[in-house]
Every structure is written in C-alpha cells, then in structure tokens.
A and B are shown apart, each in its own frame.
Chain A
Amino acid sequence: MTDATSGALPGPGIDKDRRTWIAITCGAGAIGGVAVAVPFVSTLAPSERARAAGAPVQVDISGIQPGEKLTVEWRGKPVWILRRTPEQLATLKTLDPLLADPNSERKQYPTPDYARNPHRSIKPEYFVGVGICSHLGCSPSDKLTPGPQPSLPDDWLGGFLCPCHGSTFDVAGRVFKNKPAPDNLEVPPHMYLSDTVLLIGEDKKA
C-alpha cells in the first residue's frame, strides 16, 4: 500500500468535490434504506384480520349463582363476570387504605364512568372485569375464600392473586398497594341488554 492510497487523513491530494458527492450519495442511500425498512417493519403490525376481530360478546348471566364466576372470551382475553355475595361486597368498604387506587382514578386503563363507584360495576352484585393483571398480563387466579393461605396475607378477605408476580386484587379487581401491578383490573365497556343478558365490548356511549 502506498502513502497516496492509505490516506486516513484528508491531504492535499483529496478532491473535495468528490468527497461532497460521496457524502451526498451515502446520505441518499441511507434515506433509501430507511424507506425500504418502513414496509418491512409495517408488516409486523396487527393485520387487517386481527383488527377486524373483536366484535362484542353477548352473555347470559342468569345461571351464575352468588359467589360464582363465569369467564368468557372477548378479543382473545378472559372477561370475568363475578356474582358477589353480600359478604364479599361488605369487604370492599374496609379495604380502601390498603389499595393503590381505591377510587379508580388512574388513567392507564380508564375505568368507565358507570363503574367508577365503590363496587366498580353497573350492578353492585355483578363485577365485570378483564382477567388480565395490569403488571405483565397473566391471568390472576381466584382466591375467593377468606383466611390465611400461601402467598397471601393472614387477614385475606377474598379476591384474586396473580400467580406470576404476586399482585393481589380485591373482589372489585382493585389492586393492593406495594404490589408489582400498578393498576386495577380493566373494566371492559359493557352494558345490560336485559336483566340477564350482558353485552361485553360495547356500551351506551358508543
């Protein structure tokens, strides 16, 4: 290799015009590269078919006994319908100081207005919520029996425990303080078509 071709530093033999053109072509090439990347990255987004899926789901809730929970699928997610007993509803009032967001004021998963009340539901008896933990998306397990049990405090009043990272929720899906999950369980848009038929995925606003 001779000195003329090894030039790491611009010397007197450098043609500045050519350097400018090299810079311009490199820049143009890079823009082209980015432009080509756009369609490739775009293919990763949800397809039209995935977007179209997610129609509202109708559920007949007449068969649920007090204390029972029904799980239905809406947009691929589990939606719970829990018919709470009067004892379970009574626990809600005592828990406020232990909860991260007792009045559902956080905006990450906005609670619809009709559920922003102490029982977080349209009818106090029926809780309708998406059974997906706001931490990392696991589905919490039912821990509706009060009393001491593994992974739960000894004065447990009944609710849900996320098996992944130990977040706990009360029977209104409100998250307890100092747990990994920051938000209460999401309340999906829903409305009652009749006394016993629930529509999940749509409410009167829409």
Chain B
Amino acid sequence: MAEFKEAPAGAPAAAQVTTWLQNRFPTAFDAYKVHMSEYYAPKNFNFWYFFGSLALLVLVIQIVTGIFLVMHYKPDAAKAFASVEYIMRDVPWGWLVRYMHSTGASAFFIVVYLHMWRGMIYGSYKKPRELIWIFGCAIFLCLMAEAFMGYLLPWGQMSYWGAQVIINLFAAIPFIGPDLSLLIRGDYVVGDATLNRFFAFHVIAVPLVLLGLVVAHLLALHDVGSNNPDGVEIKAKKDPKTGIPLDGVPFHPYHTVHDIVGVSVFLMIFTAIVFFMPEVGGYFLEYNNFIPADPLQTPAHIAPVWYFTPYYSMLRAVTDPMVNVFAVVVALAAVLAVLKGGLAGKWKAAVLVAALVVIAALKIFDAKFWGVVVMGVAVLIMFPLPWLDRSPVKSIRYRPGWNKWLYGIFVLNFFVLGYLGIKPPSDIGTLVSQIGTLFYFGFFLLMPWWSRIGEFKAVPDRVTFHAH
C-alpha cells in the first residue's frame, strides 16, 4: 500500500491532479513503469520483432471493426447473406469497415505466422520463455477458432460448406463423434442454429478468451524479459549501479517509436489491400462466398481460406496407403528405440506394446479419423516445441550452418502444403502433400535428435549491436 502523498502547496494544477490520481489508483502508475518506461527490452531487435506489436494492432482493428459490423449484421440463416450485402451497399462506409475486418483476418494470420517464425529461428520459446510460447500457441488456436466461426457468418457457399466439412471432422472421432458434431451444429445439418451459436462464439466467447490469453502472454513476457536475435540473456549483464541490463533500453520511448515505423509500413500495405484489392484474387475473400449458401449443392471446388490450407493439405494427405506408411514408421521407430534407445528391459517391452497398440488402432479406425488426428496434431505439436528442441543455443545465428537450410525447407514445405491445399485434389498433389506431411512431422518429432548434432558457434556475452 502506497503512502498517501500531498502535492506541495502552490503546485501547478496538473501536478495536483497527478497526485490525486496516484493516491487513488497507484496500480496504473506502477503498470506504466513495469510495462513501458522501465521495461528494458534488448536494443538489438530487428525486423522480425515488429510482428508482436503488429498482432496487437490487428487485434484492435478486428475488435473495433467487429463492433461496428455487429450493429448491422443479422445472425439469421434467412437474413445473414442479405445483411452483409446491405453493409456493403447501403450502410454509409459499411464496405470499408467490412473490408477492414475481412482483410484484418488474413493480416492477423500473416502477422502471427511471421511472429511464430521469429520465435522458432531465435529460439524464443526456450527456457525461461516456455510459458510465453504456450500462451502464444493457445492464442493461435483461439485465432483459428475465431476465423473459422467468423467465416460462417456471411452465409455464402464457402461459409456453409467449409463449416459442414470442419464440423464433420469431429464426427470422425470414434464412439462420441456423431453426437459431438450434432452438439456443435445444434441440428442435423448446418443451419440457423449453427449460425446463431457461431455468432455468439465469434463475437463474445472466443474474443474474451483471446484477450485473456493476450494479457497472460504479455505479462509472462514482461516477467522474464524479451529474447533477441542473438539469444543472449540481457539480464545476465547489468549495470552494477542501476541494476539495468546493459543491453536493454526502455520499451517506451525507444521500442514504441521503433514500432511506429513497423506500424506505418504495415498500414500502407493493409490500406492498399483494403482499397484496391480487398479480395486479393479470391484468396482473402473467396469468389464462391458471394453466392448465398445452398445446402443442396457443393461448389465445384471448395477450399478453406489460405491460412488453413497447409493443415487442410495434411488432412487430405491421409489416405489408406498413407495410414500404412504411418504404421511402418511407428514400427521402425519402436524397433530403433528398442535397439538403440538404451532402455531398461521393462521399458523395451512397454515401447513394443505401445507400438503394437498404435499400429492396431491405425488399422482399426478409418483413414478419415487419422486425417483429422494428423490435422489436429499438426497444430498441437507446436505446444511442446520448448521440450523438443535440445539445442544448447537459442538463436539460429549460433546453430550449425545446415540448420538454416533445414528451417528454410520447413518454410518452403509449409508453402507447398498451403498451395496444394488451395488446389483441387490430384494424384501428384496428394503424393507431394504426403511427403510434405511426413517432413512436417519429422521436423518436429526428430528435433530432439537433430537439434543436438553439429558444430555450434560460440554465443557472445553481449548482444551484437551496431549503432546507426
């Protein structure tokens, strides 16, 4: 509890007001110090460090535009499509608000993917920042839910059939699946009940969870401090007199001003898209979604919006032969673990039994179910990344040179999967996406092995920084 202070007699009015507020709400003043003026962030942040603040900016854009859209939108299967067109044509400036919201959805994923990529190459998820990473992954999950449910609301053909497909994913779960998908839809087919509840989740439930997670993400970040491109802990070298990290600068004004540059460039691109190409050739807004939902007719080609397509590709890659490949991989992994794992006898037996159970399950349940599992695990596998990575250094700058190639191929593979997910199914496409799926999972599941091998470079004591 802070002491009650009195402003000196004859102090200016501003000082008196400040003192009055400080006495009644000291938390706000402390928070300003902890998170802004006395939060010391590394001075060697580069380009990749813009995307955290940009994600926050896009969140604000989505909330503000969302509030104004809700004022005109009708969550009713009979009226939804027309109400979106009403916003576009009749509401003054409604088209701008709606295009900001639809472009914001794609921008959110671009910014967040780049933000996650930054975390991966600089090892930002490693000790002591595991929890920040986990909160971040949970934010990513919420974002996916938010985007998926928001996409149903315009009630176009892609809204309808996209929701139909994703909800039916849950029906693939053995035993409880059909009842679960019924509970999600609230009807035997996607309909008015589904639209109404998705609206409730999209505008209230998920945003609340999302905001809570963002707060947790930032609080945990400010507790342990930001990582940096060198992966050096700046708190290890402090000024003995002030106790301030030698390589840290106050977040405000240094990084706030720095971030304004990022915000300016971002807004140039963002507004250019909003004004000149809001559909981005059918990638941000799919053409089939300008046709009202028709439960009797699936469009000739349906694909999710671009940000889901890498995962969608992995779902499509799981066919019966692919399940057999999985079974072989599991068997090989078990044999290798028994022969080379250095396990005690009873653990060897446990590994073999577990492998047999998994192989049996692979053969018993449909490929359809395993496709859903693969898609889910592809997202969830991000969570244990801090424990999969056993590298002694954080940043890719000091990892073996070939790691850069590996991470490069990982990104390329993600793009290829994304591209194939947009295209109609084809034999060659399926084969490539099957190889891509195996690479994606291999990258993560073999990380405990490959992240330890090779020649690591010496990590400097202080960050690399050249004043300009």
Question: Taking beta carbons and an 8 Å cutoff, which residues of A are in contact with B?
Answer: 41, 44-47, 50, 54, 71, 73, 75-78, 131, 135-141, 150-151, 162-166, 177-182
Contact = CB atoms under 8 A, between A and B. Distances in A.
Contacts of A41: 183
Contacts of A54: 188
Given A44-B186, A77-B189, A135-B368, 16 more contacts: A46-B187, A47-B186, A50-B193, A54-B188, A71-B297, A76-B188, A76-B189, A77-B295, A78-B296, A136-B166, A137-B164, A137-B165, A137-B167, A166-B424, A178-B319, A178-B320
Given A73-B295, A136-B168, A139-B296, A46 B301 contact: no
Interface residues of B, number: 42
B182 A166 contact: no
Contacts of A179: 319
Contacts of B295: 73, 76-78
Given A44-B197, A76-B295, A141-B300, A166 B169 contact: no
A164 B161 contact: yes
Given A163-B300, A164-B161, A150 B424 contact: yes
B145 to A, nearest CB: 15
B148 to A, nearest CB: 14
Nearest to B316: A165
Interface of B: 161, 164-169, 171-172, 182-189, 191, 193, 197, 295-302, 315-316, 318-321, 366-368, 371, 424-426, 430
Nearest to B172: A136
21 contacts: A46-B185, A46-B187, A46-B188, A46-B193, A54-B188, A73-B296, A76-B191, A76-B295, A136-B172, A137-B167, A141-B300, A150-B424, A150-B426, A151-B426, A163-B300, A164-B165, A164-B302, A166-B316, A178-B320, A182-B366, A182-B367
Contacts of B183: 41, 44-45
Contact of B425 (A75, A76, A151): A151
Nearest to A139: B298
Given A47-B186, A78-B296, A150-B424, A138 B161 contact: yes
A179 B189 CA distance: 23
Contact of B298 (A44, A46, A150, A164): A164
